[in-house]
Structure 1
Amino acid sequence: MLFPVILLLSFICGYLFPWWVGCIMAFGAAIIFGKRSSWAFWSGFCGISLAWIALALLKSFPNEHILATRVAHVFHLPNWGLLLTVTALIGGLAGGMSALSGLLVKQAFEKG
């Protein structure tokens, strides 16, 4: 249940708000729906990674990846696909850590 919630919330927030709002959504979703630490991290990682990939592709396909290719060359990457991979890893780590933090906060208040 945690993965689809994070995926949906971060995808919707990607259109309306800055990038870090998806991390807040992952944190909140893990507080409400989180059960285990490993699931929380991977749900946040995969949810935000897939949302960022989808958002990047939706914005990159209409211009035939021209801007993404130019940004990739600025970072000395050979093509836009590698830039997309790096973007997904960075977003995934931020989302995974956010979801894990939310679950750990939930567990701290349950025990205390």
Structure 2
Amino acid sequence: MLLFLLILIVAAIAQSFLPWWIVAPISLLLAAGLGRTGGRSFLAGFAGVGLGWAAVATWLNVQNDGLLAHRVAQLLPLGGSSWALVLVTATVGGLVGGMAALAGCWLRHAALGNRNRVGESATV
């Protein structure tokens, strides 16, 4: 839960000043420091970035009555649905954050070996 909240807050703030792809290094670094397992890290990154992107896309869609999103959705095979574009946006952002968080968790496990894995014994 802490990892999810940190990714959500830090990524949202960083995207205000930096390019969109900053969510990947943020998710990677936070999961490398706080992620316990790969699955939980992926879910925290997916939910944190995906929810942040969904909130912004929804807000922008509502602010202009879906006109811009409708036009972009016509270019994609979404049938012109602005809400489908919001869902696709959240999914793409979530996958970027989730994969980066998973990579960060795996990076820490690879660097530390079996010493820091939760629920696994370090027997030889």
| TM-score, with structure 1 as normaliser | 0.93
Query: Where does residue 100 of structure 1 map in the other structure?
Result: 102
Q: What percent identity do the matched residue pairs reach?
A: 35
> Tell me, what secondary structure is at the counterpart of 1:6?
helix
Query: Where does residue 51 of structure 2 map in the other structure?
Result: 50
8 A Cα contact 1:2 1:30, kept in partner: yes
8 A Cα contact 1:11 1:55, kept in partner: no
Unaligned runs of 5+ in 2: 115-124
Query: Where does residue 34 of structure 1 map in the other structure?
Result: 35
CA distance in 1 between counterparts of 2:83 and 2:63 reads 16
Task: Note the C-alpha offset of 1:16.
Answer: 1.6
Aligned length: 112
8 A Cα contact 2:23 2:96, kept in partner: no
Counterpart of 2:30, as a letter, is: A
8 A Cα contact 2:61 2:82, kept in partner: no
Query: Where does residue 89 of structure 2 map in the other structure?
Result: 87
**CA offset digits 1:59-94 (Å, max 9, x no partner):** 232211110111111113121111111111111111
CA distance in 2 between counterparts of 1:59 and 1:88 reads 13
Task: Note the C-alpha offset of 1:6.
Answer: 0.6
Counterpart of 1:97, as a letter, is: M
CA distance in 1 between counterparts of 2:54 and 2:113 reads 37
What do you get for the CA RMSD once the two structures are aligned? 1.3
Query: Where does residue 22 of structure 2 map in the other structure?
Result: 21
> Tell me, what secondary structure is at the counterpart of 2:109?
helix
8 A Cα contact 1:14 1:55, kept in partner: no
> Tell me, what secondary structure is at the counterpart of 2:64?
coil
Unaligned runs of 5+ in 1: none
CA distance in 1 between counterparts of 2:111 and 2:77 reads 46
